[in-house]
Copies of this chain bind each other. A is one copy, B any other.
């Protein structure tokens, strides 16, 4: 996964990940209304509108970016029908050649972690092996330590998948736990050490591990320091755009060759049509495309 991701970033000359987090209010009124007319005020209508929206966004951006990130909460919100839209979106993105990151932030232990690992390992029913989730990589929560991560490592190696483990999140209150000082350094640095160590169990061939880290764009100094202390750990960086960070904040997140991270933007891309009078319901995908191009240029100046 990590080699494929890095190759795709090189080919696109763009480390942007488009976050497909289609909150209800982001979906254009025309799509919403047409699905409500067809399916009523049901979760089925919600699932249908989400997939219809995502498909158009993907068509608009698939040749410009290496990957999409699907925030599963936005789909899980609508139950089975929402998750059906998640799976269909992942499959469609894959067909369009995109790497699919499932932003699932799961974290549990032993047999439970093994069950969650089905996201990347697939599942075997008697003699039949099925890949039900279509993700190339998933995000994980480290609070339970290695027990929660270990079951994902074999699938990373066997099926060429990847992980991004939360280290330093982009939100203000993340500090409540992550910035507690233990043995002279913050908790997130301890987590960073663990993630680096775990990463050795699943190295790619281009200097980076298949086990990456989530490092928020909103903490520039910490991100820069982590880049230095985690030279083989690829970063998935949330918090660009809507959460306040810009390309110039991210210089230190890249390595000396301009590699080592992908930067996610969700709302800034998929809701771009709402902030520009030239765009509307009928051409929201064009607005997303323009936002990706702008972001590529903005990030390009930092690399």
Contacts and interface: CB of A to CB of B under 8 A. Distances in A.
Contacts of A112: 21, 71, 73-74
Contacts of A116: 73, 76-77
A9 interface: no
B125 A144 contact: no
A143 interface: yes
Q: Tell which of A41, A42, A181 has the most Cβ of chain B within 10 Å.
A: A41
B43 A169 contact: no
B181 A41 contact: no
A190 B173 contact: no
B73 A128 contact: no
Contacts of A77: 115-116, 118, 123
Interface in A250-279: none
Contacts of A43: 123, 125, 130, 132
A22 to B, nearest CB: 10
A171 B190 contact: no
Given A77-B115, A105-B108, A182-B187, A145 B173 contact: yes
Contacts of A118: 76-78
B73 A125 contact: no
Interface in A79-133: 79-80, 83-84, 87, 105-113, 115-116, 118-119, 123, 125-128, 130, 132-133
Q: What 6 A-B pairs are tightest by C-beta distance, nearest first?
A: A145-B173, A79-B132, A145-B176, A41-B128, A180-B182, A73-B115
14 contacts: A21-B111, A41-B126, A41-B127, A43-B123, A46-B125, A76-B119, A77-B115, A77-B123, A78-B123, A109-B174, A144-B169, A147-B171, A148-B171, A177-B191
